[in-house]
Amino acid sequence: MPTILVTGGAGFIGSNFVRYWRREHPAWEIVVYDKLTYAGNRNNLHDLEGQPGFVFVQGDICDREQLEPWVAKADIVVNFAAETHVDRSLLASGDFVRTDVLGVHTLMECARKHGTGLIVHISTDEVYGPILSGSADEKAVLNPSSPYAASKAGGDLLALAYAKSFRVPVIITRCCNNFGPYQHPEKLIPLMVTNALMDLPLPVYGDGRQVREWIFVEDHCRALDFLIEHGTPGEIYNIGTGCEKQNIEVVRLILQFLGKPESLIRFVADRPAHDRRYSVNWEKLRKLGWEPIHEFESALAQTVAWYRDNEWWWRQIRDSEEFKRYYEANYAWRLK
């Protein structure tokens, strides 16, 4: 039985990928290796727990001794493990450097030693920094603005260096903003949906006209599956959709889907160094034959309905002391 190792598989995209992989490749064993930080959640994998061919390991990607045998056993590794939230990286960034840079280094060292078949390292379009016009292709200069984006750029470049120096067969992907079920309620869409469901104010940073390119998480999973089959190790692939929206447009749509009033919107102090726009050129991937299949508004409506119907999932996170501390630090002063 071939094995796929999914590091960070208890997070948002990782858990959606695991579910996707199980459905599309049922003959594979799936090992999820995840530290279970505040963002990792076994509830994200509740329907897979206990199934034959599904293994969960609680472990840190920086712990070489624990990680190495799992990398040695794997035919494919997909690395989602990371600290991922820009606002948290502005409050404290040590864990970002540790996991997003040193964690990638540890994974690369394990792969170098054991000659794993293929590694897909998940990077982000945020490494390009703000793109005020046009779109960033894979050769664009890296110009990260936040400690999160800078740490991701560091890990991304290390992975590339291991491909060049040691022929570690790693593909780097840089995807745009994801949305869908099981996304931590610190991120824009789930935060706005859950606040609206609780009739709390919706904190929109600055003028709300910042632009993000959005992909439904299942399309991201499809792109990763496609690249596992058709991608070339040592190469970088942007993953995008061309679907660009201002934050305020997204927030208004959410309110509309929930039948809640726009009076809930509160324009609050902006994020420092807030990137005005992200936009990726993903022609390289399109030319290989991949296209997104989900349309933004219907996928957003489906996502909003998922949060409305799965309060059991988000309520536990929102009620946790950890989340309350974060909310207080990031929003209390903004909402005064």
Residues at the contact surface with ligand TYD, assessed by CB under 6 A: 86, 126, 177, 187-188, 191, 203-205, 210, 212, 247, 271
Contact 176, 241 (CB under 8 A): yes
Rank residues 204 and 221 by Cβ distance to ligand TYD and give the closer one. 204
Count interface residues toward ligand NAD (CB under 6 A).
30
Burial grade of 191 (CB within 10 A; 0-12, 13-18, 19 or more): buried
The two structure tokens encoding residue 250: 């997204």
Nearest approach, Cβ of residue 330 and ligand TYD (Å) = 8
Residue 289 falls in which region: left (phi positive, over 0), alpha (psi -120 to 50) or beta: left
DSSP strand E in the chain: where? 3-7, 29-34, 54-58, 76-79, 118-124, 170-175, 177-179, 202-205, 211-216, 236-239, 244-246, 265-268
Residue 221 touches which member of ligand TYD, ligand NAD, none, C-beta under 5-8 Å by kind: none
Residue 204 binding partner per list ligand TYD, ligand NAD, none, with a CB distance cut-off of 5 to 8 Å that depends on partner kind: ligand TYD
Nearest distance in Å: CB 46, ligand NAD: 14
Retrieve residue 260's tokens: 């809640």
Q: Quickly count: other Cβ atoms within 10 Å of residue 321's Cβ.
A: 7
- Distance between first and last Cα of the chain: 56
Residue 190 interacts with ligand NAD (CB under 6 A): yes or no: no
Q: Which is nearer to ligand TYD, 24 or 297 (CB)?
A: 297
Give the nearest distance from C-beta 279 to ligand TYD in angstroms. 12
Burial (Cβ within 10 Å: 0-12, 13-18, ≥19) of residue 94: exposed
* 166, burial (CB in 10 Å: exposed 0-12, middle 13-18, buried 19+): middle
Query: If residue 254 lies in a helix (H) or strand (E), which one and from where to where?
Result: helix 247-258
Interaction partner, residue 62 (ligand TYD, ligand NAD, none; CB < 5-8 Å by kind): ligand NAD
State the binding string over 68-87 for ligand NAD (x if CB under 6 A, else -).
Answer: ------------xxxxx---
Q: Is 36 in the site for ligand NAD (CB under 6 A)?
A: yes
Tell me which residues are annotated as active site. 125-126, 148
Candidates 35-43, 246-254, 285-293, 325-333; binding stretch for ligand NAD (CB under 6 A): 35-43
Q: Which does 279 bind (CB under 5 to 8 A by kind): ligand TYD, ligand NAD, none?
A: none
31 CB burial (10 A radius; 0-12, 13-18, 19+): buried
- The verdict on 241 binding ligand NAD (CB under 6 A) reads no
- Residue 45 has phi, psi (to 5 degrees) of -120, 15
CB of 103 or CB of 144, closer to ligand NAD: 103
State the minimum distance, in angstroms, from the CB of residue 177 to ligand TYD: 5
- Residue numbers 111-150 binding ligand NAD by CB under 6 A: 122, 124
| Closer residue to ligand NAD, CB minimum distance, 45 or 260 | 45
Considering the complex, what minimum distance in angstroms separates the CB of residue 303 from ligand TYD?
13
11 sits near ligand NAD (criterion: CB under 6 A)? yes
Q: Say whether residue 103 binds ligand NAD (CB under 6 A).
A: yes
Q: What is the DSSP pairing of strand 211-216 with strand 244-246?
A: antiparallel
Tokens matching residue 195: 């606040």
Three-state secondary-structure class, residue 33: strand
Residues that bind ligand NAD (CB under 6 A): 7-8, 10-14, 34-37, 39-40, 60-62, 80-84, 99, 103, 122, 124, 152, 175, 177-178, 184
